[in-house]
């Protein structure tokens, strides 16, 4: 390096690094800088696809074929589509009817786990498995349990003399929807259970003791002492569960793929069938966007509830 440059460079380095330090110490500039990496990913892979989805839903785009603007025709066509009606109805049942079952069974699980039990740590780890493992893979287990030929449930019922021949669990609309709802409940019980358990453990011990001294029995202590403490968590967990279940895909894709005869679709699987398998991208995007107002409604409900309780 040239001697004159060498003697100058430390000076310049430090002045520019001071300027950089100032930049980093000003809260507003550092704040923006720290938000940048995450927000760029969200902008490219979340905000942009969302806007693109709205545009696609207003076109007749198909895979490999650029479409033209057709206004709201995709949305209007769907309103006259019987499969779409069935899909919307199924989604409502799937997301709403399952919640009370998950909440009650989860509460039961939490009350049981809240006692001093032997091996409580491994037991807690084990009961979380339905929630923790990939749903696609555990659904395969259920897929086999509901198989028309190998079902252990059918085998058991036949041995007990309750039925004559195997049940075709996933081949009949009513039984299939029930089976799908059951697998969803099965997966959700641990989530409700562990969340409610955390709430139970936050109930001050003195309150229980005081109530016991005052002569309250177990039932009254639960209603008057415990329940007010866990009400908020049950509410938040239920809303989260509704949002996730409403937008589910894999469980139904594995169990029935929407069949038999398109009778068990929910929004996600029907959009996949129309938008991917049948290559009608515009129509598929319209199906997914029908979810948006309902998702927004429950999200805002959740947000308001969380702010109120905080």
Partner 1 sequence: MMVGSESHRTLQIYIPLAVFMVLLLFPFYWMTIVSLKPSSDLFDMNFNPFWVQRFTFENYTYLFENTEFWSWLWNTMIIAIVSTALSIFCSICIGYALARLKFPGSDFMGIGIFLVYLVPPTLLFIPMAQVIGALNLFNTHWSLILTYPTQLIPFASWLLMGYFLTIPKEIEESALMDGCSRIQILIRIVLPLSVPGILSATIFCFTLCWNEFLYALIFMSSGDMKTIPVGTVSDLIKADTLFWGSLMASALLGSVPVAFIYSFFVKYYVSGLTASAVKG
Positions in 206-265 near partner 1 (CB under 8 A) = 232-233, 236-237, 240, 243-244, 246-250, 253-254
Q: Binding to partner 1 by residue 32, rule CB under 8 A?
A: yes
Residue 54 CA from chain centroid, whole number: 22
252 and 265 in contact (C-beta within 8 Å)? yes
The only residue of 25, 164, 206, 214 in contact with partner 1, by rule CB under 8 A? 25
- Give CA–CA dist 278/63, Å, rounded: 9
The only residue of 13, 72, 96, 125 in contact with partner 1, by rule CB under 8 A? 125
The CA-based diameter of the chain, rounded to the nearest angstrom, is 100
The only residue of 8, 45, 89, 227 in contact with partner 1, by rule CB under 8 A? 45
Cα–Cα nearest to 165, from 174, 154, 175, 173: 154
How would DSSP label each residue in 196-211?
HHHHHHTS-HHHHHHH
Which of 8/296 has CB closer to partner 1?
296
Strand partners, 62: 65
The footprint of partner 1 on this chain (CB under 8 A) covers a number of residues equal to 99
Which of 145/216 has CB closer to partner 1?
145
Cα–Cα nearest to 90, from 237, 280, 269, 228: 269
Q: Binding to partner 1 by residue 115, rule CB under 8 A?
A: yes
The only residue of 38, 71, 161, 215 in contact with partner 1, by rule CB under 8 A? 38
Which region, judged by CB under 8 A, interacts with partner 1, from 96-104, 170-178, 209-217, 286-294? 286-294
At closest approach, how far in Å is the CB of 26 from partner 1?
9
The only residue of 13, 18, 76, 129 in contact with partner 1, by rule CB under 8 A? 129
> Sign of dihedral through CA atoms 276, 277, 279, 281?
negative
The only residue of 8, 13, 50, 77 in contact with partner 1, by rule CB under 8 A? 50
Q: Binding to partner 1 by residue 169, rule CB under 8 A?
A: no
The only residue of 69, 89, 126, 297 in contact with partner 1, by rule CB under 8 A? 126
The only residue of 98, 188, 267, 273 in contact with partner 1, by rule CB under 8 A? 267
Q: Which of residues 53-92 bind partner 1 (CB under 8 A)?
A: 53, 56
Which of 10/37 has CB closer to partner 1?
37
Q: What are phi and psi of 97, to 5 degrees?
A: -70, -30
Q: Mention every residue, 6+ apart, whose C-beta is less than 8 A from residue 290.
A: 75, 78, 88, 267
285 and 72 in contact (C-beta within 8 Å)? no
């Amino acid at each position: 390096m040239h001697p004159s440059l060498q003697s100058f460079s430390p000076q310049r380095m430090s002045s520019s690094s001071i300027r950089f330090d100032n930049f980093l110490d000003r809260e507003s500039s550092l704040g923006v800088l720290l938000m940048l990496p995450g927000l760029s990913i969200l902008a490219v892979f979340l905000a942009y696809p969302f806007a693109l989805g709205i545009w696609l839903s207003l076109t007749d785009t198909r895979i490999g074929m650029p479409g033209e603007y057709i206004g709201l025709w995709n949305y209007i066509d769907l309103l006259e589509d019987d499969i779409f009606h069935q899909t919307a109805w199924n989604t409502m049942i799937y997301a709403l009817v399952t919640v009370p079952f998950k909440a009650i069974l989860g509460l039961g699980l939490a009350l049981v786990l809240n006692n001093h039990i032997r091996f409580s740590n491994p037991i807690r780890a084990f009961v979380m498995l339905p929630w923790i493992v990939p749903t696609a893979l555990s659904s395969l287990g259920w897929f086999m349990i509901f198989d028309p030929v190998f079902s252990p449930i059918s085998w058991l019922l036949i041995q007990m003399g309750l039925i004559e021949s195997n049940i075709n669990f996933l081949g009949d609309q009513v039984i299939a929807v029930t089976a799908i709802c059951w697998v969803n409940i099965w997966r959700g019980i641990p989530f409700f259970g562990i969340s409610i358990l955390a709430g139970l453990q936050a109930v001050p011990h003195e309150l229980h003791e005081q109530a016991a001294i005052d002569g309250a029995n177990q039932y009254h202590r639960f209603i008057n002492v415990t329940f007010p403490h866990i009400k908020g968590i049950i509410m938040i967990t239920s809303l989260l569960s509704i949002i996730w279940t409403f937008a589910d895909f894999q469980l139904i894709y594995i169990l029935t793929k929407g069949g038999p005869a398109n009778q068990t679709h929910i929004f996600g699987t029907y959009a996949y069938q129309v938008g991917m398998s049948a290559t009608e991208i515009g129509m598929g995007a319209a199906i997914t966007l029908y979810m948006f107002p309902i998702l927004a409604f429950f999200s805002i409900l959740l947000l308001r509830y969380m702010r109120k309780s905080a």
